[in-house]
Amino acid sequence: MSRALSSSSSPRCLDLRSPKYSLAAPICRASRFRISASRKIQVASTVDRRCFASAPPESFSVVNVDLGDRSYPIYIGSGLLDNSDLIRKHVPGRTALVVTNETIAPLYLERTVAALESSGELRVEVVILPDGEQHKNIDVLMRIFDKALEAQLDRQTTFVALGGGVIGDMTGFAAASYQRGVHFVQIPTTVMSMVDSSVGGKTGVNHPAGKNMIGAFYQPRCVLVDIDTLETLPDREFSSGLAEVVKYGLIRDDEFFEWQEANVEKLMAREAATLIHAIEKSCINKAEVVALDEREGGVRATLNLGHTFGHAIETGVGYGEWLHGEAVSVGIIMAAFMSERLGWIDQSIFNRTKTLLEKCRLPVQVPSLMTKQLFMNLMAIDKKSDNGQVRLILLRGELGGCVFTGEFDRLKLEETLDNYVTSG
Ligand SMILES: NC(=O)c1ccc[n+]([C@@H]2O[C@H](COP(=O)([O-])OP(=O)(O)OC[C@H]3O[C@@H](n4cnc5c(N)ncnc54)[C@H](O)[C@@H]3O)[C@@H](O)[C@H]2O)c1
Ligand SMILES: [Zn+2]
Q: What's the CATH number where 371 sits? A: 1.20.1090.10
Cα–ligand 2 centroid distance for 204 (angstroms): 13
Cα–ligand 1 centroid distance for 203 (angstroms): 13
Look at residue 300 and tell me if it is in a domain.
no
First-to-last alpha carbon distance for the chain, in angstroms, is 43
What are the tens digits of pLDDT across the range 76-130? 999 999 999 999 999 999 999 999 999 999 999 999 999 999 988 999 999 999 9
Residues 159 and 51 in one domain: yes
Look at residue 297 and tell me if it is in a domain.
no
pLDDT score at 309? 96
Residues 187 and 333 in one domain: no
Residue 297 has pLDDT above 90, yes or no: no
CA neighbours within 13 Å on the CB side: how many for 125? 20
Residues 261 and 377 in one domain: no
Return the closest-CA partner of residue 91 out of 190, 3, 230, 186.
186
Biggest alpha carbon–alpha carbon distance for the chain = 64
> Is there a catalytic annotation at residue 101?
no
Residues 73 and 158 in one domain: yes
Looking at residue 98, what DSSP letter applies? E
Q: Is 301 helix (H, G, I), strand (E, B) or coil?
A: helix
Look at residue 140 and tell me if it is in a domain.
yes
Looking at residue 200, what DSSP letter applies? S
Residues 280 and 310 in one domain: no
Residues 242 and 339 in one domain: no
Residue 30 has pLDDT above 60, yes or no: no
Confidence band, pLDDT 50/70/90 cuts, at residue 383 = low
Residue 343 has pLDDT above 70, yes or no: yes
Cα–ligand 1 centroid distance for 396 (angstroms): 30
User: Which one is catalytic: 50, 136, 147, 324?
Assistant: 324
Q: Is 218 helix (H, G, I), strand (E, B) or coil?
A: coil
pLDDT score at 298? 87
Average pLDDT on 299-318 reads 93
The residue range of the domain holding 406 is 305-420
Look at residue 298 and tell me if it is in a domain.
no
Look at residue 88 and tell me if it is in a domain.
yes
Contacts within 8 Å (CB) and 24+ apart, 143-150:
144/97, 144/99, 144/170, 144/171, 144/174, 144/178, 145/174, 145/178, 147/97, 148/97, 148/174, 148/178
Share of the chain above pLDDT 90, in %: 76
Q: Is 76 helix (H, G, I), strand (E, B) or coil?
A: strand
Residues 266 and 363 in one domain: no
Contact 7, 230 (CB under 8 A): no
Return the closest-CA partner of residue 114 out of 126, 101, 103.
126
Residue 12 has pLDDT above 70, yes or no: no
Looking at residue 277, what DSSP letter applies? H
Return the closest-CA partner of residue 190 out of 243, 137, 144.
243
Residue 24 has pLDDT above 60, yes or no: no
Question: Residue 133 sits in a domain of what CATH number?
Answer: 3.40.50.1970
Q: Which residues pair with 100 in a beta bridge?
A: 128
Q: What's this model's pTM, rounded to 2 decimal places? A: 0.87
Average pLDDT on 164-193 reads 98
Share of the chain above pLDDT 70, in %: 84
Residues 312 and 275 in one domain: no
Domain count, the chain: 2
Q: Which ligand is nearest to the CA of 393?
A: 2
Look at residue 134 and tell me if it is in a domain.
yes
Residues framing ligand 1 (Cβ under 6 A): 101, 103-104, 107, 131, 133, 136, 163-167, 169, 189-190, 192-193, 196-197, 200, 202, 211-212, 229, 232-233, 237, 240, 324
Chain centre to alpha carbon of residue 236:
16
pLDDT score at 211? 79
Residues 132 and 198 in one domain: yes
Last residue of a domain, one of 246, 267, 292: 292
Return the closest-CA partner of residue 314 out of 384, 363, 269, 266.
363
Q: Which ligand is nearest to the CA of 328?
A: 2
Residue 58 has pLDDT above 50, yes or no: no
φ and ψ at residue 234, rounded to 5 degrees = -60, 150
Residues 261 and 332 in one domain: no
Mean pLDDT of the chain: 86
Lowest mean pLDDT, pick from 65-69, 229-233, 329-333, 337-341: 65-69
Cα–ligand 2 centroid distance for 54 (angstroms): 30
Residues 95 and 230 in one domain: yes
Look at residue 208 and tell me if it is in a domain.
yes
Report the alpha-carbon angle 193-314-129, nearest 5: 50
Look at residue 197 and tell me if it is in a domain.
yes
Average pLDDT on 286-305 reads 93
Average pLDDT on 373-383 reads 85
Average pLDDT on 140-161 reads 98
Residues 204 and 288 in one domain: yes
